Amino acid sequence: MKILIAPDKFKGALNAHEVAENIAKGLRDVLPDTKIDIVPMADGGEGTAEVICGAQACTWLQCKAHDPLGREIGARYAWIEDAKLAVMEMSEAAGMRRLTQSERDPLQANTFGIGEMILDAANRGANEIIIGLGGSATNDGGFGMARALGFRFLAHEHELRGAVTELAGLERIQKPKDLILPKIIAAVDVKNPLLGKNGATRVFGPQKGVTKDQIDKLERALTRLADVVAEEFGFDYRDKAGAGAAGGLGFGLMSFCGAKIRPGFDVVAEAVGLEAKIKDADVVITGEGSLDRQTLEGKTPAGVARLARQLGKRVFAIVGRASTDREVREIFDGVSENTRPGMSREENMKRAAELLRENARGLAYDL
């Protein structure tokens, strides 16, 4: 029997490789002679560059950039020389991890550092850039990124460079004259549009610190940005699936960089050769920290399960915790949870490795 282990990270506890290794250890305790293949996965969220880099011959490059509040940082991204391919994550420059809890300020936080990373890769001769859109601290629609690329945002001939809410007064956008960018793929794990009840601000803003009284201000600002882009450039991506990813950075990448939005799972699956690995396996095991309705919206376990089903393979999930949602659970042949009765979320995360091994041993007896 051949078993393929293809999980995502357990956010805040273990990266995807650590998750896979602990599942493998548990399986080997019971099935020592079974052939086990490991392929850490991601879906456009944090960890995407690391997973793709781990599957291909790559080096890590560092460039000067700015964090969401404008402080100078060193930002790294993966470089695959043979393909002249850069793989980066927006969270490296503009992620929540760059800020303390008290520093979260979605009116001031911006994506300027993403533009700097894109320019660095372009100046190195990149043929293609993949950008994972996850873990953002921003809600600026790509306003900061575009400014780093040379776009100027004007109101009464005054250039807007401050808070996102300044965009409510935007009158026109001036394009840079000599900007040449490679093909850019925005890898997303959500399908939200830019605006409205399912848009970037209302759905994801609160977790970044957006207060109730700021929601309408940010919505007006991003609406005006989309209106002026449509007027000046002749296209309108506000309703495109994924436009609302990373605080509207999906919209910004399409509008200012000509980027193509793709499901992050598909991008990663291609890069790591997942389909061929599943074909070669008898059983597939996937997982992530939380299995719920969001899983069905393009997250790794759902993508792995879909592909395994298409290829006629049994597929199981080992997760931190899972909802009782029947539709979510039915895409797997079985679901094992690390959560135990009376266990706190903190303890679940702290003991993640141990519990993964325990669940893998239990699953091994049933295979």
Question: For position 91, what pLDDT does the model report?
Answer: 97
Mean pLDDT of 293-298: 86
Say if residue 81 is exposed, middle or buried (CB neighbours under 10 Å; 0-12, 13-18, 19+): exposed
Phi, psi of 93 (to 5 degrees): -105, -35
Q: What are the CB-based long-range contacts (under 8 Å, 24+) for 322-329?
A: 322/290, 322/291, 322/292, 323/291, 323/292, 323/293, 325/292, 325/293, 327/296, 328/291, 328/292, 328/293, 328/295, 328/296, 329/291
Map tokens 């250039």 to a residue: 159
Share of the chain above pLDDT 70, in %: 100
Question: For position 275, what pLDDT does the model report?
Answer: 97
Give per-residue pLDDT as tens, 42-80: 999 899 999 999 998 899 999 999 999 999 999 999 999
Give per-residue pLDDT as tens, 155-180: 988 999 999 999 999 999 999 999 99
User: Is residue 223 pLDDT above 90, yes or no?
Assistant: yes
Mean pLDDT of 217-241: 98
Nearest-angstrom CA–CA distance, 86 and 92: 14
Question: Which residue, among 249, 226, 227, 228, has the nearest Cα to 154 in the 3D structure?
Answer: 228
Q: How many CA atoms lie within 13 A of 37 on its CB side?
A: 19
Question: Which residue, among 162, 148, 80, has the nearest Cα to 117 in the 3D structure?
Answer: 148
Question: Which residue, among 190, 284, 200, has the nearest Cα to 241 in the 3D structure?
Answer: 190
Phi, psi of 10 (to 5 degrees): -105, 95
Confidence of residue 296 (pLDDT cuts 50, 70, 90): confident
User: Is residue 294 pLDDT above 90, yes or no?
Assistant: no
User: Is residue 40 pLDDT above 90, yes or no?
Assistant: yes
Mean pLDDT of 113-136: 97
DSSP state of 10: B
Nearest-angstrom CA–CA distance, 160 and 353: 48
Nearest-angstrom CA–CA distance, 328 and 143: 36
Instruction: Report domain extents, the chain.
Output: 2-39+273-366, 48-264
CATH for 48-264 is 3.90.1510.10
In contact, 161 and 151? CB cutoff 8 Å: no
User: Is residue 297 pLDDT above 90, yes or no?
Assistant: no
Domain 2-39+273-366 has CATH 3.40.50.1820: no
Question: For position 157, what pLDDT does the model report?
Answer: 86
